Amino acid sequence: MSNQAVRPVFPFTAIVGQEEMKLALILNVIDPRIGGVMIMGDRGTGKSTTIRAIADLLPEIEVVKDDPFNSHYSDSELMSDNVKKSLMSQITLETAFIKVPMVDLPLGATEDRVCGTIDIEKALTEGVKSFEPGLLAKANRGILYVDEVNLLDDHLVDILLDSAASGWNTVEREGISIRHPARFVLVGSGNPEEGELRPQLLDRFGMHAEIRTVKEPELRVQIVEQRSDFDMNPAACLLKYQDKQEELKNKIRNAQEMLPKVAIDYEYRVKISQVCSELDVDGLRGDIVTNRAAKALAAYEGKSNVSEEHIQKVVTLCLRHRLRKDPLESIDSGDKVLKVFKKIFD
């Protein structure tokens, strides 16, 4: 496909404001094990534009050529069974570089469309396991975006969260089972007016970003003008932001490489758990995610040790959606989290 045929994507570095959402997306891209982002906010605040922009910005990934699961050529956690068999038989596999997959999950999607289907007839008549991959297969090693996630069937949200957490998707039918890697960054967005997700589903998203409509007239004008410039001449706009895009791409790539070397002091780990305990956060997911997010932020800033500032920047994003006990309460804006953070860390 020629470059002209590819629809241009608004550059991530040109997006004004919405710092919470941008930071949450960048950190999840650096460490997908954070567990995804739930973005809640008003309509028309650039949620889907920002998510497409981060996917477009990411460095290309190396995959096994013509593999429907975007299998990694050497990491067994990210490769399909067929690729594993080929490697065990010492067959040389061709690889190719592709853009990070960005998969949109339509609201009316069925379970078969999401998970994939097994051809039972073929299995019974020919004894062959025939599998038609679904959206989870396409999203492996990429981003899976669900707009209006709060309107999606709870059962489907459960499937998405299970795959995102385990990194695998298992399809079973009539005693036949197939599993394949499905490690992706799950990004959900929604409008709070249309209802919240159930607390037990919400808790399974790593981070929760809130976005608001920009109020300052000057900023609003800047956003509108940038969008108009892009729509009228995408090539000129992309050229204008090319250096910034490259810089951010390198920063993310360096952070991904540096992440395993980042350390967080025991004292800070204890304090994070104290914050979670004082806020009465259920389970240990809040502790784990805050630790991971703080490490990802340190790596993003090129630091090998997590500082108090790193924890402060991520703690609200990681904990605000875990506080609710009463389903009728709305999500805390983060004041409560920061108050407890300051009390324990000061």
Kindly state the DSSP code that residue 194 receives in the 8-state scheme: G
Structure tokens at 239: 């050229």
Environment class of 80 (CB within 10 Å of its CB; exposed 0-12, middle 13-18, buried 19+): buried
Q: Tell me which amino acid residue 256 is.
A: Q
Has 285 been annotated as catalytic? yes
Closest among 315, 322, 266 to 292, alpha carbons compared: 315
Give the count of beta carbons closer than 10 Å to the beta carbon of residue 156: 19
Q: How far apart are CA 247 and CA 249, in angstroms?
A: 5
Note whether 160 and 113 are within 8 A (CB).
Answer: no
Q: Which H or E element spans position 19?
A: helix 19-30
- Residues 52, 183, 204, 285: which is the catalytic one? 285
H or E stretch covering 335: helix 335-345
**Position 232, amino acid:** M
Instruction: Reduce the DSSP state of residue 60 to 3 states and report it.
Output: coil
3-state secondary structure of 239: helix
Residue 170, SS3 per DSSP: strand
Torsion of CA 235, 236, 239, 240, to 10 degrees: -150
For residue 183, give the nearest of 133, 145, 140 by alpha carbon.
140
Number of other residues whose CB lies within 10 A of the CB of residue 263: 12
Amino acid (one-letter) located at 321: H
Backbone angles phi, psi at 105, to 5 degrees: -100, 115
What is residue 263's DSSP assignment? B
Q: Which residues are catalytic?
A: 285
